[in-house]
Chains A and B, each alone.
Chain A
Amino acid sequence: EVQLLESGGGLVQTGGSLRLSCAASGFTFTNYAMTWVRQAPGKGLEWVSTLTNIDGSPHYADSVKGRFTISSDSSKNTLFLHMSNLRTEDTAVYYCAKTAMVYARGFDYWGQGTRVTVSS
């Protein structure tokens, strides 16, 4: 059974940093791209970042480019999102999602999310 468990959320001040983790199990972690999606309060889902499995390249939404870094530790089957220079608009629930083998098929499994609150 595929399981994704996010952690690391919390309250941080503007300009601060935070690292989110996503512990994955139930599938061969290195065979799949992994993605972070967020939902700000009262807003919709927003794609944030993907770490591809083909060449390990990261991709970012314009809203976080230069501030967020996606990475992984394959020995621990864990995905990370390093967030720096945080803004109030980064306040959201952050979901980790397993990307389908064929990228066009979207995200086939999701975690329950971890909440990040950025306060001024």
Chain B
Amino acid sequence: QSALTQPASVSGSPGQSITISCTGTNNDMGTYNLVSWYQHYPGKAPKRVIYEGNKRPSGISNRFSGSKSGNTASLTISGLQVEDEADYYCCSYVSSGTWVFGGGTKLTVL
């Protein structure tokens, strides 16, 4: 149950786009796109922004998008806004009621 690998930090300027990668193994990423992404402000409840790799929950801006290639999933945030500054975590459904999170990425909007 090793954590998925994410970059510790990424940064961008308002209006720019950034991409956060999330790399696992065949065992935890698998064939299908079972990755969800969470936005987490310190001291607050995490919020799901992407599920099943590329689907947005109701109310989530279309500036958030997801993709997957092989054992690497990616979250892209376009048109960066100051309020996007937060920690972002990927999470993969492994099997039968078990999940694994990534180590988290701190997004700084300069």
Chain A residues at the B interface, C-beta cutoff of 8 Å: 33, 35, 37, 44-47, 50, 52, 57, 59, 61-63, 95, 97, 100, 102-108, 110-113
Contacts and interface: CB of A to CB of B under 8 A. Distances in A.
Contacts of A106: 36, 38, 48, 51, 91, 93, 99
A52 B52 CA distance: 19
A59 B52 contact: no
A105 to B, nearest CB: 4
Taking chain B's interface residues, is the majority helix, strand, or loop, or is none over half, making it mixed? strand
Interface stretch (B11-19, B67-75, B76-84, B101-109): B101-109
Given A44-B87, A47-B99, A106-B48, 9 more contacts: A44-B89, A44-B101, A46-B3, A46-B101, A47-B98, A100-B51, A103-B93, A107-B36, A107-B48
24 contacts: A35-B99, A37-B101, A44-B3, A44-B89, A44-B102, A44-B103, A45-B46, A45-B101, A46-B101, A47-B100, A52-B96, A52-B97, A61-B1, A62-B1, A63-B1, A100-B51, A102-B52, A104-B32, A104-B93, A106-B99, A108-B57, A110-B46, A112-B44, A112-B45
Nearest to B97: A59
B97 A103 contact: yes
Contacts of A100: 51
Nearest to B8: A44
Contact of A45 (B57, B96, B104): B104
Contacts of B36: 105-107
B36 to A, nearest CB: 3
Nearest to B38: A45
Given A106-B91, A112-B44, A50 B52 contact: no
Contact of B52 (A33, A57, A104, A110): A104
Given A104-B52, A106-B91, A57 B45 contact: no
